[in-house]
Amino acid sequence: MMSTISPVFSAEPSLATFVPAFETGFTPWDISHLFSVFDSSLDPIQSPAHDFASVNRTSSDVAPTEENTHERKKKRKLSNRESAKRSREKKQKHLEEMSIQLNQLKTQNHELTNQLRYVSYHCQRTNTENERLRLENRILQDKLLNIRQVLMFRQIERSLNCSTWPCDNSTVVTVQQDPSMIY
């Protein structure tokens, strides 16, 4: 004949799973040792000797007592406090790192702004100087053009002032006027 026993697989008794058992108390599959971690009030990492001892537990050893439940809650609260403390410390460290990074970026931004002003100032000066040189170039090109025109007019005038006429049919006389007397 079979009966049912209630091995505890969680801390909540309402979540117990009913497993069929023989009248002798033997269950065909005793898996309570797999859930011994949930019932243990010790650290989850234990020596192998403890694991072998947990295999031989009976259902009365597995049932949580009020004291065990209270102890687990107390440990959980302590663990939560420590976790919250670590979280706050981590957050504080992160904020400090971000503050340092912010100050570094502000300094870098200030330096880059100053460099930009310096480059902009020199760029403006260079543009002004280039514009002045372009204007000077244009003026010099105009002067050069005027000088060339004057030289061309003088050459044309010389060629016109140098008259050729026949004195008699056999002799040609060429008269040249002195260019310095033109003015």
Cite the beta strand spans of the chain per DSSP E. Answer: 2-5, 19-22, 163-168, 171-175
Block mean pLDDT (10 aa), the chain, length 183? 46 49 53 55 48 49 74 93 96 96 97 97 97 97 95 89 56 53 48
pLDDT tens digits along 72-86 = 999 999 999 999 999
Those residues with Cβ within 8 angstroms of residue 40's Cβ, 6 or more apart along the chain or in another chain: 46, 54
| Structure confidence by residue, pLDDT tens digits, 24-39 | 555 555 555 555 555 5
pTM of the model: 0.39
Nearest to 7 by CA among 46, 69, 27: 27
Gap between the Cα atoms of 173 and 162, Å rounded: 10
Q: Where do we find the tokens 């005027």? A: 146
